[in-house]
């Protein structure tokens, strides 16, 4: 399978970046605007408000491939903080403490911080 998909690695990398960024963007929308199961938006000048800004703006930038490495590093750190502040106190295993999404985002964004945006990105056009 690896050899079969090898020619498509740059495309799959780009699709993962776009999908992760778009989903992260959506993850922040309720924090900033309410709705989507959240009764009211978070206070903008709070930790939750800052998280919403990082998720909405950072998610869009990651999806577009704009300054991907530093933005993804920031997003990875935000998700690590979210995991250890909100989820880890509820138990050790991510599946039982509700933190599997935060942990997955943290590692996916750490990957993008390390390897960059790749194909189909504004970063690749700028170079």
Q: What is the pLDDT of residues 13-53, one digit of tens each?
A: 999 999 999 999 999 999 999 988 888 999 999 999 999 99
d(CA 48, CA 125): 33
Q: What is the pLDDT of residue 38?
A: 82
Q: What is the pLDDT of residue 112?
A: 98
Pick from 35-39, 59-63, 73-77: least confident: 35-39
pLDDT at 122 > cutoff 90:
yes
d(CA 72, CA 63): 10
Q: Return the percentage of the chain with pLDDT > 90, whole number.
A: 94
pTM, two decimals, is 0.95
Phi and psi, residue 35, nearest 5°: 75, -170
Phi and psi, residue 38, nearest 5°: -105, 130
Q: Do 122 and 65 touch, CB atoms closer than 8 A?
A: yes
Q: What is the pLDDT of residue 37?
A: 84
pLDDT at 127 > cutoff 90:
no
Mean pLDDT of the chain: 96
Q: Do 79 and 106 touch, CB atoms closer than 8 A?
A: yes
* Neighbour tally for 86: CB within 10 Å: 13
Q: Do 107 and 72 touch, CB atoms closer than 8 A?
A: no
d(CA 100, CA 66): 26
Task: Round to the nearest angstrom and report the end-to-end CA distance of the chain.
Answer: 32
């Amino acid at each position: 399978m690896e050899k079969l998909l090898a020619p498509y690695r740059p495309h799959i990398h780009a699709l993962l970046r776009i999908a992760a960024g778009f989903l992260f963007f959506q993850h922040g929308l309720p924090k900033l605007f309410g709705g989507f199961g959240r009764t009211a938006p978070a206070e903008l000048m709070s930790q939750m408000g800052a998280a919403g800004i990082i998720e909405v703006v950072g998610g869009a930038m990651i999806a577009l491939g704009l300054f991907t490495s530093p933005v993804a590093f920031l997003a990875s750190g935000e998700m690590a903080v979210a995991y250890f502040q909100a989820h880890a106190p509820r138990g050790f295993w991510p599946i039982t403490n509700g933190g599997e999404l935060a942990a997955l985002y943290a590692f996916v964004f750490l990957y993008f911080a390390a390897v960059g945006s790749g194909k189909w990105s504004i970063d690749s056009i700028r170079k």
